[in-house]
Structure 1
Amino acid sequence: METPSATPSEVAVHPLVLLSVVDHFGRCDEGDEASKRVVGVLLGEQRRGRIDVTSSFAVPFEEEDDASGIWFLDHVYLENMYRMSRKISAKEKIVGWYSTGPKLRDNDIDIHELFYAYAQEPVMVIVDVRAENANIPTSAFAAQIEVKEDGTEKQQKTFVHVPNSIQAFEAEEIGVEHLLRDVKDNTVSTLSTKVSEKVHSLRGLKTRLEEIKGYMDKVVDGTLPVNHEIMGHLQDAFNLLPNLNLEEYVKGFNVSANDSMLVVYLSSLIRAVIALHDLINNKVQNQERERALDAAAATEDADKENKEKENEKSADADQKMTDAK
């Protein structure tokens, strides 16, 4: 392998990989969705510490539900599939493996050791296939030797998080756009779609804030050690927040809120006027319809009376002629 041995700095997962993983998960037995997971191989390229995961294929995998550490991965199937994929795309090499987790398990470090035979520094990507997940569905990890506080190393590896993202080539972006256009529900209005997207974004933000709060609580309690890098990122995030106590921000928020409420008020007023106008038109139409029905009924009654009078006159004339004879 020509890949460097350094831990990758970033992992970019392409849409085709996500679709393949979801298809692999959907084709498995649906009898035990709560604890089941699927495992497969990731293919791609590594350049300057960045790994582009462009393809993948499924691998037969089984494991015990308990913590016994018994699992099985079909090596022969893996090597045959990799050999056939090299005939199609020689640039794509094994860069790691994926799992549908949705969290790390005890057997993952042992499975990860297996892929050192195919890549110098393989990565593990957990793809969360749950429908209720509103965040980025991928998490990337790499294995590192755990170092003690006194600086000595012990022969035990642990997973460390690697930054990851969802990226696509131009051709993939076009395909994803067409796919989303086909699955789009035309019965849903654009406004409701935007509101739904805002709700999903706020739910994702709430989840992240809860994770930060949980981490800070554990640091305060002494359960976790202080990580200065994480603290630095949190401080940078808080420094980007605007100071809402400034008079300009307060005035700007008030003006924006008043403008929005004015639009809502005018919309409600126009809606009420239109509803009253339709009500009046409906009442006028009903009155005209009732008048027409009454006039038709009066005309019909008059015609009946005229016919009855004519019948009476003809009967009297016939009676007189009979009496004369």
Structure 2
Amino acid sequence: MAVIEQFKMPGTSLEKVVVHPIVLLSVVDHYNRIAKGTRKRVVGTLLGEYNKGVLNITNCYAIPFEEDLKDKDIWFVDHIYHEQMYTMFRKINAKEKIVGWYSSGPKIKKNDIEIHEKFREYNTNPVFVVIKVQENETLGIPTESYCSVDEVNEEGQLEKNFVHIPSSIDASEAEQVGVEHLLRDIKNVSIGDLSKHISDKVLGLKALNAKIIEMKEYLDDVLDEKYPVNTEIIENLQDIFNLMPNLDFDSIIQSFSVKTNDYMHMTYVCSLIRACIGVHNLINNKVAIIERERALLEEEEKRKKAKKELEQKEKENNQASQKDVEMKDDK
């Protein structure tokens, strides 16, 4: 079994986790191959580099993982396979270290803290990234990052708990070019820029609404004394609402209405134009098919006529030959 040196990564100074596109693509491929259409989730190892408070997750690989869906205390991670895979990856890029692990989630489960502690054998402070692979689960960015800390529970004992770390999606220049080439074949050219702009706005509003509901549920739980009051969270929420613009003005309401009506009018006109173009293309295709069929029929008729003329000519030649033979016989 390969011996892997434990990577010492600072925990307190970790400010942000950046996930690169190749990681997202690899996790989605892993999920589609192993667990698509089931209640299972997939688990893998994250590789990357730490630099000035920012952890760049640049690569990953899948590892065999099984868990009992009824009893979450029963789980298995093939650490021998994991260590052999990392040994091969290290030969390709020695700078990429084991920085943590990922799960397809979509939420944290009871045994995740135990799996997280297993990865401490390879990193002093690993990160846990939940990557949401289902399309209906991703209103915002599809990643949530966590690290574990020691906290004192109600009984006065230390226990491990996950704390959230800000995360984002970013790519190098080479990765951006690769992603553009990858998306070129699946891009729907029938959707115009305006329609895409409106769709993005709708998705953004849905994500905002989900976050507001989440904040409301948290405040309700604090009022019901399910959670202790966290002054830092309360101050952040207050700052968010203080930064919101005051829209209760007739001029602003009218401007929004006019802008919205303009967008709706342009969308309607563009949809009509697209429909008219589609109908014209359909008519042109129908006309082209009819003309092609007519041309084929004309060619077939010409071929039959030429064949008939050839047969008639051969028949006349045969008759002339027979007459010549009869005249010679009479002489």
Instruction: Please state how far the C-alpha of 1:234 moved relative to its aligned partner.
Output: 0.7
Give 1:1-325 correspondences, 5 Å limit: 1-6=7-12, 8-30=14-36, 33=38, 35-132=39-136, 133-148=138-153, 154-245=157-248, 249-255=249-255, 257-258=257-258, 261=261
Q: Which amino acid aligns with 2:189?
A: N
Per mean C-alpha deviation after superposition, the further-off stretch among 224-233 and 57-66 is 224-233
CA 1:61–1:231 in structure 2 vs 1: closer, same or farther (change >3 Å)? same
CA 1:183–1:157 in structure 2 vs 1: closer, same or farther (change >3 Å)? same
CA 1:266–1:157 in structure 2 vs 1: closer, same or farther (change >3 Å)? closer
Larger gyration radius, structure 1 or structure 2: 1
CA contact (8 A) 1:12 1:166 kept: yes
> In 2, distance between residues paired with 1:92 and 1:158?
27
Secondary structure in 1 matching 2:147: strand
Secondary structure in 2 matching 1:183: coil
Instruction: Please state how far the C-alpha of 1:193 moved relative to its aligned partner.
Output: 2.1
Normalised by the size of structure 2, how large is the TM-score? 0.73
Secondary structure in 1 matching 2:176: helix
Deviations 1:183-217 (A, max 9, x none): 11122233322222222111111111111111111
Instruction: Please state how far the C-alpha of 1:164 moved relative to its aligned partner.
Output: 0.8
> In 2, distance between residues paired with 1:235 and 1:63?
41
Deviations 1:93-150 (A, max 9, x none): 0000000111111110110111111001000000010111221110001011113579
**Number of equivalent positions:** 264
CA contact (8 A) 1:7 1:121 kept: no
Secondary structure in 1 matching 2:18: strand
> In 2, distance between residues paired with 1:83 and 1:230?
42
Q: Which amino acid aligns with 1:157?
A: K
CA 1:267–1:217 in structure 2 vs 1: closer, same or farther (change >3 Å)? closer
CA 1:184–1:148 in structure 2 vs 1: closer, same or farther (change >3 Å)? same
> In 2, distance between residues paired with 1:136 and 1:261?
30
List alignment gaps of at least 5 residues for structure 1: 270-325
Secondary structure in 2 matching 1:97: strand
Normalised by the size of structure 1, how large is the TM-score? 0.74
Match of 1:322 in 2: none
Match of 2:309 in 1: none
> In 1, distance between residues paired with 2:81 and 2:147?
24
Q: Which amino acid aligns with 1:86?
A: R
Deviations 1:143-183 (A, max 9, x none): 11113579x6x342111111111111111122222222221
List alignment gaps of at least 5 residues for structure 2: 1-6, 270-331
CA 1:80–1:254 in structure 2 vs 1: closer, same or farther (change >3 Å)? same
CA 1:235–1:85 in structure 2 vs 1: closer, same or farther (change >3 Å)? same
CA 1:213–1:262 in structure 2 vs 1: closer, same or farther (change >3 Å)? closer
Deviations 1:277-316 (A, max 9, x none): xxxxxxxxxxxxxxxxxxxxxxxxxxxxxxxxxxxxxxxx
Q: Percent identity?
A: 47
Match of 1:287 in 2: none
Deviations 1:26-83 (A, max 9, x none): 011445x2x2100000000112232110000000000100135111111110010000
Q: Which amino acid aligns with 1:209?
A: I
CA contact (8 A) 1:6 1:121 kept: no
Secondary structure in 1 matching 2:40: coil
Q: Which amino acid aligns with 1:210?
A: I
CA contact (8 A) 1:40 1:58 kept: yes
Q: CA RMSD in A?
A: 2.7
Q: Which amino acid aligns with 1:137?
A: P
